[in-house]
Structure 1
């Protein structure tokens, strides 16, 4: 099934090649722009059904997706699993819960992401969940491109091995190839 997921990422031009500045501040020669996949509901459904199969064994009550990338993923997972799905968003740079969404004390929560690289958005969302008394039981995502181990159980449709470099070590910077910043987080 992982081959089918990779085919759909390529078919929708969600897997990009070039020089990219990632939300983590690192540089890479590949970028997974899952929004390109998510614009096709049937293809998103097919890819996320892989994650749904893995989540069927997990005991949880709620799905929370950090804005922007996790909103549609949370919705689709919730739709397929018949679970409520909400999202966190940044206000003045801080991840928070708005729009009347609630997390009740004791609720078991899955964080939904499009791509997990460093887990930064997930960790920010985890703090919000725990602040309301919820317990994070894992992260669900389309693409796991983490290099270092994430501290939570990770349920992905595909594992992508993509190299990431600091700006100082980036071979593309050394070749003076300009980068683009496709992510939604502002980097300081």
Structure 2
């Protein structure tokens, strides 16, 4: 699946939004990709996950023991990636503001993990989730995401495989361009900005 085909899936789902958005990172942006909308169709989610899995080298795919995603945004795509790879999927949550395993999920010592996100902007959530995996005994050997909003700037410390890479501008709240500042801000993400 090429970039235009991926974006066509987002457009078809009404998931490529224009306006003034406050991202989970706290940054502001004129565009937002609502992955929950694109993933609400199981057939579309399966197509996107299969395409995402195909971006990774065969030997890497074979080395993965477990798929881990951060809740909430990564749960569906993580599950679909696990299906595409023939592996199990679990997720980490932030009940007290820090990612941790819950619900009886366990990671065996040394288990090779693929971390899967819906969207990566700064990489903060990914790095926090990777820390939780390491604390549980796992080893994150790669990361994947439907969308890399960083334009390739996010450093996750492991090989990173996004399905599509976009350079969408982001701005701190005190440095908004006038045309963005003139629009009412929406916060469609799942994490409260700090």
Instruction: Give TM-score scaled by structure 2 length.
Output: 0.92
Is the Cα contact below 8 Å between 2:70 and 2:92 reproduced in 1?
yes
Is the Cα contact below 8 Å between 1:167 and 1:173 reproduced in 2?
no
1:127 match: 131
Cα RMSD of the aligned pairs, angstroms, is: 1.4
1:145 aligns with 2:149: yes
Structure 2 unmatched ranges of 5 or more: none
Is the Cα contact below 8 Å between 1:116 and 1:143 reproduced in 2?
yes
Show CA shifts across 1:68-103 (max 9, x none): 011001100111111011000111212110011011
1:118 aligns with 2:122: yes
Matches of 1:21 and 1:77 in 2, distance apart?
Answer: 27
Aligned equivalent of 1:105, options 97, 102, 109: 109
Structure 1 unmatched ranges of 5 or more: none
Aligned equivalent of 2:77, options 63, 73, 80: 73
Show CA shifts across 1:153-177 (max 9, x none): 1111111120001111111577432
DSSP-derived class of the 1:91 partner: coil
Count, aligned residues: 188
How far did residue 33 of structure 1 move? Answer: 0.6
Is the Cα contact below 8 Å between 1:19 and 1:172 reproduced in 2?
no
1:160 aligns with 2:166: yes
DSSP-derived class of the 1:146 partner: coil
Moved over 3 A (4+): 172-175
Aligned equivalent of 2:176, options 165, 170, 178: 170
1:21 match: 22
Matches of 1:184 and 1:174 in 2, distance apart?
Answer: 22
